[in-house]
Amino acid sequence: MIIDYFVSVPFSVVNLFSYDALWFTPQEIYPYSIKETKMDKIERIGVSLDKKLLSMFDKLIARQGYQSRSEAIRDLVRRQLSEERLGDPKAKGVAAVFLVYDHHSTKLADRLIGLQHTHILGSSLQVISSLHVHLDEHDCLEVIVLRGHVGEINKVAESILSMKGVKLGRLNIMAPVPAGP
């Protein structure tokens, strides 16, 4: 059995590009009469789903704590768009590199600091921030936050994670989709 229900998805991509060619936007000329509201950016769409599939989806999003189907579907769409963007080395991304290492490997600590000073504000790949936690008398956790093109982030992260002395490491990278609430 097929069930129809409605979800709301942001439609601000269209709004972002609608008035690029105009010298004045309608909002600037008639700020009160055509003022854009949040609801203007929302488009309601209908989705057909098999009843069993819908039931499984509802159980899944209930377990995850979603308050509405719309919010869950918006997140799914964003996640899928972000995943697709990660395939483009030129896409803009943000990432966190997690690594555990023994701070007695002094060369590694120096190399990590040196690498972070190389990628400061102004360069195409930036180290935005880093966090250092002393786990025990030997091991440290370092979280390095990067921003830049996906290809560059992957390259630098690989060079960090392959450094001698890194015991555990992981790259967590996202390519946020710019439009939408």
Which residues contribute to the site for Ni ion (CB under 5 A)? 103, 134, 140
Residue nearer to Ni ion on the CB measure, 78 or 103: 103
When CB distances to Ni ion are compared, the closest residue is 140
Tokens of 77: 């769409």
**Least distance from C-beta 83 to Ni ion, angstroms?**
34
Q: How far apart are the C-alpha atoms of 42 and 138, rounded to whole Å? A: 53
Q: How far apart are the C-alpha atoms of 76 and 143, rounded to whole Å? A: 27
Name the β-bridge partners of 100: 141, 168
Residue nearer to Ni ion on the CB measure, 51 or 134: 134
Of 92, 108, 90, 104, whose CA–CA distance to 147 is shortest? 92
Of 126, 130, 128, 170, whose CA–CA distance to 148 is shortest? 126
Residue nearer to Ni ion on the CB measure, 108 or 157: 108
**Least distance from C-beta 99 to Ni ion, angstroms?**
12
**Least distance from C-beta 95 to Ni ion, angstroms?**
22
Task: Note whether 43 and 8 are within 8 A (CB).
Answer: yes
Residue nearer to Ni ion on the CB measure, 102 or 179: 102
Q: How far apart are the C-alpha atoms of 68 and 72, rounded to whole Å? A: 7
**Least distance from C-beta 116 to Ni ion, angstroms?**
15
Residue nearer to Ni ion on the CB measure, 26 or 165: 165
**Least distance from C-beta 56 to Ni ion, angstroms?**
45
Judged by DSSP in three states, 100 sits in: strand
Number of residues assigned to the chain = 181
